[in-house]
Structure 1
Amino acid sequence: MAEQLDIDFLLQRDRHAEALLELSRRIEGANTERDAFDAGFDILRANTGYQHYWVFILDEDNRHAHYYMGSTGPESDPSTATLTISGDPMLEEIVTSRDIVLVEDARTDPRTNKEIVARVGNRTIINVPIVLNASNLGAVGTGTFGDEGVRLPSSAEQDFLKAVASQLAISLDRIHNRNEWQRAEKELQAGEARNRSLILAMAEGVVFQNADGVITSANPAAERTLGLNAGTLLGQTSMVPLPVLTSDGRSMAEDRLPWNVTRNTGLTQTSVTLGTKKPDGSTVWLSVNTSPVEAGESAPYAVVTTFRDVTGQREMQQQLRMLQVALDGVSDCAFMMEDDRIVQVNQGACRSLGYSKDELIGMSVFDFDPVLTPEHLQHLITTTSDKPAIAFESTHRARDGRVFPVEVEVSPFTYDGRHLAMALTRDISERRKNEESLRRLNRTLLTLSSGNEALIRAGSEMELLHRMCHILVEVGGHRAVWIELTKGPDDKELIPSASATADESLRLDPKRVPRGNALAEALSSGEPKLIVDIYFDALEADVRADLLKAGCRSGLVLPLIASRGLIGVLSIFAENADAFDKAELDLLKELADDLAYGIQAQRIHAEQRESVTRLRRTMESTIVALANTLELRDPYTAGHQRRVATLAKAVALRLGFDEERAEAIYLAGMIHDIGKIYVPSEVLTRPGKLTPLEYSLVQTHVEAAYGILHPIDFPWPLADIVYQHHERLDGSGYPRGIRGEDIVLDSRILAVADVVEAMSTHRPYRPGLGIDAALAEIVAGKERLFDPAVVDNCVALFREDGFNFG
Structure 2
Amino acid sequence: MTLRSTPSPAPQLMTQALEACVVGAVITDAQAEDHPIIYVNPAFERLTGYGSAEILGRNCRFLQGQDRDQPPLEAIRRALAEGRGTTVVLRNYRKDGLLFLNEVTLSPVRDEMGTVTHFVGFQSDVTPSEEAVAGKARAQRTPTSTLDHMADGFASFDPDWNFTSVNDAVATLSGHDRHELIGRSLFQVFPEALHRPIGRALQRARASGLPQRELTFLPEVGRWLDAVAYPTGNGVSLFTRDVSESHDVQEKLRLSEERFSKVFQASPVAIAISRLRDNRFLDANPEFLAQSGYALEEVIGRTWEELGLSMRPEDLRKIEEGLTQRGEVRNLELRIRLRFGEERDNLLSVVPVEIAGEACTVNLIHNVTEQKRAQQALLESEQRYRRTVAELQRTLDISLDMITTIDAEGRFMTVSAACEQMLGYLPEELIGRRSLEFVHPEDRAATVSEERSVVQGRTTTAFQNRYLHKDGRVVWLEWAAVALPGDPLLYCAARDITQRRAAEEDRAYLAAIVEASQDAIIGISLEGQIRSWNTGAERKYGYPAAEAIGQPLTLISPPEYQDEQLQMFRQVKAGQPVEPFESVRVTRDGRRIYVLATLSPIVDASGQVVGVSKVLQDITARKATEDQIRNLNEGLQQQLRHLTGLREVDRAIASSVDLPITLGMVLENVRRQLNADTVTMLLLNPHTLTLECVDLHGRSSAALQGSSVKMGQPLAGQVALSRQPMRMPDLREVGTASGWLETLVQEGFRAYFAVPVIAKGKVLGVIEVFHQDPVTLTSAHWEMLEMLAGQAAIAVDNARLFEELERRNLELRLAYDETIEGWARALDLRDKETEGHSRRVTEMTVDLCRRLDVSAEQLVDIRRGALLHDIGKMGIPDAILLKPGKLTDGEWVEMKKHPGYAVDLLSPIRFLRPALDIPQYHHEKWNGTGYPAGLRGQQIPLWARAFAVVDVYDALTSDRPYRAAWTRERALQHLQAEAGTHFDPQVVQIFLQMLGG
TM-score bracket, shorter-length normalisation:
0.3 to 0.5
- In the superposition, the TM-score normalised over structure 2's length comes to 0.37
Report 1 or 2 for greater relative contact order, CA contacts < 8 Å, sequence distance ≥ 6. 1
- In the superposition, the TM-score normalised over structure 1's length comes to 0.44
